[in-house]
A and B are shown apart, each in its own frame.
Chain A
Amino acid sequence: MTDFGAIDALLAGARKEVALPPAEERRTLREELNLSRPQLAQALGVSPSTVAGWESGRDPSGEVRERYAYFLQGAKTKLAAAAMATFEDVGDEEPQEAPGSDAEPAAGQDDDVDVLVVPQPCVLCGQLARHQVAGFPQHLDPAECAAPGTPQPAAPAVSAPTASVSAAPAPARPAAARGGQGVRIVAAGRRVQPEDAEPDLIRQTVTQVLAQHAGDVEAATAALVKRAIPDVMALLDHTRKGGRYDIVAHPWLPDILRKQSARGADQIWEARPKWTRPELPAGAHEVTALDINGAYLSALKTHLPIGQLEHSTGNHHDRRRAGVHLITPPVWDHDTVLPNPIGNRDEPGPLWVTEPTLRLLLRLAGPKYGLCDPPEIHESWTSGATEGLLEKLRVVLKHARDRAIGEGDDVTLEYVKQMYSKFVSTLGESNYNRELYRTDWMHLIRSQAFTNLWWKAHRAYDEGLMVVRAMGTDELHLIGDWRTVFPEGRGVTEVKVKDVYTVGSDRNQTDTAPGSPS
């Protein structure tokens, strides 16, 4: 039954794109109704800068486009009728059926019920419905709705009890919120709750700052960049609620992780790649410089030590622990085609590497790859490890990033970028972030980013491409048809083209070169 509901929802969702009035008219319509951008943005569930974008020529797409079209259509009819403007806000428009009034008018009301001008098929049962909730046409009365066996999830905990009494459609809403594809839920104590019930700190902050700066995008971005570090620490605290492990901010650290002097470095080698292929075959080659999106964001998923680092000696690696290791790296014979996994280190002898680098070396030494000998481990400072410590933070930031890209919201995108990059760079002994002194995590996360880049280089090599350079955290230069290997785009699993250039010249040209007058 629910399968058919999902199909119906899909069919209902597959509509032609509605036409929108021209950009200048959109703004006039909104202003004549005395609505501010944040107000409209809240009703539509997007950020104010997005609305600003639509009013200056950009076009929304998908569901949000229909909602926006509906708003504009409604505004137009309202102005045309020139009736007594009794409503101040589209969000406050109440359906006739709703008896009584809500305890909290606009702030607490998150299910925005609208009356449809033209009846549209209900996302639950497929019959024509005259109302929509949060942009999804549906029946308000479950008796009217012909979809039997609709799951009746508990009403979201945030809405006031009076609201759930007065608004009969509340039970149907969470199921509809994802177009019938199911509700994303998260653990909350002993129960689960819909993900929407959790406050979206990032969006709240962006909306608030934009409202403070009256929609001035540049000023708001600057303000958000300034508060990125405290905000990401608050977000970290928020995402660790109910977590299994405490985040220890000021652990005792061994001397190798302490800076030798105020400006000096500690003894950890992060294995940053800086490799250029020594030679290319003759002829002209078109090299593409690729940029890995959000390299440090992805690197937040790594094995991080939880407790105090403990010392151990001997050539033994425990997969359940993570930390830093003193190793003698193996000889690397593939420098002509692939970068050395420990980066370009000139100094011979043992060196302190981090967990990701060691795991990379061990994996390469394993039977599957067999690219080098196993490294020899002399000493280790390790502790029990988990990959899940920053996982929720990573997922929250990734969702925010994806959504910002989808909506063309540059303010949120820049804010999220600042949050994760500054989190990684100030994780250690930074004066800009004194809440966390985890030099060990900082090294591990950076190394993980470098390791991820190394694996991308290896994958390209494996698929028959020619790797020309691997540099820094996120730069990879390739020759060949890389589109078959890496998808292009802005998501964290995709790559972005930074530059395309040509190296060398064709044999014919070099032959004719001496003959040409020069």
Chain B
Amino acid sequence: MPERNIEFGKYGARGLKGHEAVARQLDALAGYIATPVTARRGLMARLHYLTRTDHARAAARAAGLTVTDRTLRAWLDGARSPSRKNLERIEQAYRTVRRENVARYLTARLNREGRGTRVEIHPLNQSQVDRPRQRVVEFRTLNVRRWDRIVAAWAADDDRALDDAWIDQVVDLGSQWGQYEYVTNVGFAA
């Protein structure tokens, strides 16, 4: 099985795409505000993050928070509260800006001046597959030295680019890399 899977899950295997697991781990490392945007505390924290400087305001606008300054001030004063649609926009803009801000530092930490970071790849879950169709898929580790493309694609929220960047690394696992296109978990630390 050297290539990508065509019909994943046909016999009951379960897992998620490697790049999704990577994005999830990068999200965990980025450390977003824990309180949800629907709570006042979480909303205020996000608005403060997006309006602290002119640079942040510009980034928020570029990320899709296209409301007037007057509206923003009203939200911050508590005179008005954002509609549900605007709450979603705030959340989206916050995550985008946060990713962009964090990306540079995350790349540096993961590259570790060229030494790279050890990545653990936990294989897909075969517990629901019939016994004869189960295969031995081992736990593997991999040292990823260049994270620039992966982190850049994650910061841009570009699934396709992230998938490509990740598969480029996974290919280093050898001819069996297709077994690791879907995984249970991808673990690494920064």
Contacts and interface: CB of A to CB of B under 8 A. Distances in A.
Given A246-B139, A308-B122, A434-B190, A251 B34 contact: no
A250, A308, A434 pick with most chain B CB within 10 angstroms: A250
Nearest to A253: B185
Interface in A184-231: none
Interface in A281-327: 307-308, 310
Size bracket, chain A contacts:
10 to 19
Interface string A256-273: 000001100000000000
Contacts of B25: 250
Interface residues of B, number: 14
Nearest to B34: A262
B102 interface: no
A249 interface: yes
Contacts of A307: 139
A419 B130 CA distance: 46
B139 A248 contact: yes
A307 B189 CA distance: 19
A252 B28 CA distance: 14
B184 A252 contact: yes
Contacts of A437: 187, 189
Interface in B136-181: 139, 141
A248 B120 contact: yes
A434 B189 contact: yes
A261 B34 CA distance: 7
Nearest to B138: A246
A249 B34 CA distance: 24
A435 B120 CA distance: 11
Contacts of B75: none
B103 to A, nearest CB: 18
B188 interface: yes
A251 B189 contact: no
Given A246-B139, A262-B34, A252 B189 contact: no
Nearest to A436: B189
Interface of B: 25, 34, 120, 122, 127, 139, 141, 184-190
17 contacts: A248-B122, A248-B139, A248-B187, A249-B120, A250-B185, A250-B186, A251-B122, A251-B185, A251-B187, A252-B184, A252-B185, A262-B34, A307-B139, A310-B127, A434-B189, A435-B189, A437-B189
Interface of A: 246, 248-252, 261-262, 307-308, 310, 434-435, 437
Given A248-B187, A262-B34, 20 more contacts: A246-B139, A246-B141, A248-B120, A248-B122, A248-B139, A249-B120, A249-B187, A249-B189, A250-B185, A250-B186, A250-B187, A250-B189, A251-B122, A251-B185, A251-B187, A252-B185, A308-B184, A310-B127, A434-B190, A437-B189
